[in-house]
């Protein structure tokens, strides 16, 4: 584990609310319990439960969203999540989150994202680099007393949303490009919603130059998987339930796959870890990026995910190093950031023996 921790890493698939610390969520629940708004012991037991099906996860997200409704809390969990990733030596983080409205606390999708951005600024443990190239230059031009982490945001469209709501999210992402928003994600309960609902928003995002990643094939849905692959997103997440013809299309497409081992195992979207499609993707030299998905919910971190890949699929340190560095090619930030990250990897060049 120590070697995997020291390895510089790139995280491209992490949901903000799924990455919140359990201790913070329990603390927030306890506060609501004291006010008599929830039954704290019951909520605590749900928050700390180990194994969860995919359906239970989505119920849990609804519960977490009840705990993280106001701007200050969003800012706090963002700060903590970035510090936690940085502690695992993540040097580039693409954090995704679903902008939410909540009239009762005056929250709009825009103010939600602003609260997330305030979280980036609140980070103390490391120096966050985000936003426009000018911002990058400003930070990199100063003497840095702390390790750095690049943080970029993806705005998620929830599959429960309408076409109009999805377009609103894309518009917001376009407005916030200079603040570090680099792309759009489609996520949420895969049993809910229809691909065609989201196509207009995703086409708009593409037309305007935002990058796109889709949760694809978490449950069997051949028509949707085919349509998603035909859309040619810049990346997909999961790709667990693909039939043979879809699998062939994926391999031909070279679309990078964000692989989330613990998440897939815990939610049983993949029955046994040893049979995970990571092995065939890796053998086919298909681009893959090891990611966490929801480290808070699945009690994991990116270091553990690398170690797990090593143990389950017999990867050597040099293979892990290759995977970590190669992930830089699949980030949504521009070429300049890619070049800066490559320099960090080259300088770190950990001895693989
Ligand atoms: P948030 O967007 O609120 O920061 O993070 C939690 C949300 O991310 C969930 O409500 C859900 O929409 C999405 N999400 C998190 N993990 C998964 C996953 O494994 N699969 C899918 N499809 N969506 C997820």
194 CA distance to ligand 1 middle (Å):
17
pLDDT band at 350 (very low <50, low <70, confident <90, very high): low
> Ligand 1, from 18, 224, 294: best to mutate by most atoms within 8 Å of Cβ?
18
**Model confidence at 139, in pLDDT bands (50, 70, 90)?**
confident
In angstroms, what is the span from residue 58 Cα to ligand 1's centroid?
A: 8
DSSP 8-state assignment for residue 333: S
- Identify the residues whose C-beta falls under 6 Å from ligand 1: 15-18, 61, 97-98, 156, 158, 187-188, 190, 215, 218, 263, 293-294
Q: Which of 218, 246, 258, 340 is catalytic?
A: 218
Domain annotation covers residue 45: yes
Q: Is 218 tagged catalytic?
A: yes
Q: Is 258 left (phi over 0), alpha (psi -120 to 50) or beta?
A: beta
Residue 181 domain-assigned (yes or no): yes
**Per residue in 48-84, pLDDT tens?**
887 788 888 888 999 999 999 999 999 999 999 999 9
pLDDT in tens, 122-138: 999 999 999 877 777 77
pLDDT tens column, 193-219: 999 999 999 999 999 999 999 999 999
ipTM of the complex: 0.99
Q: Assess if residue 353 is contained within a domain.
A: no
Same domain, 143 and 88: yes
Residue 330, classed as helix, strand or coil, is helix
Q: Which helix (H) or strand (E) holds 92?
A: strand 90-97
Domains in the chain, number: 2
Residue 292 located in a structural domain:
yes
Does one domain contain both 104 and 193?
yes
Q: What is the pLDDT of residue 141?
A: 75
Domain-located, residue 350: no
Band of the pLDDT at 353, cuts 50, 70, 90? low
Q: Which domain holds residue 80?
A: 2-20+68-345
Positive or negative: CA dihedral 158, 159, 160, 163: positive
Q: How far is CA 165 from CA 15, 16, 75, 161, 339, in A?
A: 19, 20, 23, 6, 35
The pLDDT confidence band at residue 297, using thresholds 50, 70 and 90, is very high
- For ligand 1, the distance from its centroid to the CA atom of residue 340, given in whole angstroms, is 30
Indicate the average pLDDT of the chain: 94
CA distances for 163 relative to 132, 197, 220, 335, angstroms? 29, 5, 23, 32
For residue 276, pLDDT over 60 is answered with yes
**Helix H or strand E segment including 237:** strand 235-238
For 91-107, the pLDDT digits (tens) are 999 999 999 999 999 99
**Residue that is written with structure tokens 């609902």 in the block:** 197
Tell me what pLDDT residue 326 has.
97
Residue 179 DSSP one-character state: G
């Amino acid at each position: 584990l120590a070697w995997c921790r020291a390895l510089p890493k790139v995280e491209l698939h992490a949901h903000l609310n799924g990455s919140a610390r359990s201790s913070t969520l329990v603390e927030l629940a306890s506060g609501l319990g004291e006010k008599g708004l929830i039954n704290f012991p019951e909520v605590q037991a749900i928050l700390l439960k180990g194994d969860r099906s995919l359906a239970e996860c989505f119920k849990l997200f609804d519960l977490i969203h009840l705990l993280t409704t106001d701007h200050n809390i969003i800012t706090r969990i963002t700060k903590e999540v970035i510090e936690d990733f940085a502690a695992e030596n993540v040097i580039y983080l693409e954090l995704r989150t679903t902008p939410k409205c909540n009239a009762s606390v005056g929250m709009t999708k825009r103010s939600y994202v602003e609260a997330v951005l305030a979280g980036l600024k609140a980070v103390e443990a490391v120096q966050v680099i985000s936003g426009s190239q000018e911002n990058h230059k400003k930070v990199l031009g100063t003497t840095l007393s702390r390790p750095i982490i690049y943080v970029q945001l993806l705005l998620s469209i929830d599959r429960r949303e309408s076409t109009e709501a999805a377009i609103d999210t894309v518009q917001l992402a376009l407005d916030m490009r200079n603040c570090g928003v680099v792309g759009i994600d489609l996520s949420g309960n895969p049993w809910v919603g229809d691909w065609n609902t989201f196509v207009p928003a995703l086409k708009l995002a593409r037309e305007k130059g935002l990058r796109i990643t889709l949760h694809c094939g978490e449950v069997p849905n051949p028509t949707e998987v085919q349509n998603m692959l035909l859309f040619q997103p810049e990346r997909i997440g999961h790709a667990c339930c693909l039939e043979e013809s879809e699998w062939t299309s994926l391999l031909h497409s070279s679309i990078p796959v964000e692989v989330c081992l613990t998440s897939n195992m815990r939610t049983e979207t993949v029955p046994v870890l040893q049979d995970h499609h990571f092995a065939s993707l890796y053998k086919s030299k298909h681009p893959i990026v090891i990611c966490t998905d929801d480290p808070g919910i699945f009690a994991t971190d990116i270091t553990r995910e690398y170690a797990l890949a090593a143990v389950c699929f017999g990867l050597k340190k040099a293979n892990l190093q290759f995977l970590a560095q190669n992930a830089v090619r699949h980030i949504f930030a521009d070429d300049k950031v890619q070049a800066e990250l490559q320099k960090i990897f080259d300088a770190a060049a950990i001895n693989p023996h």
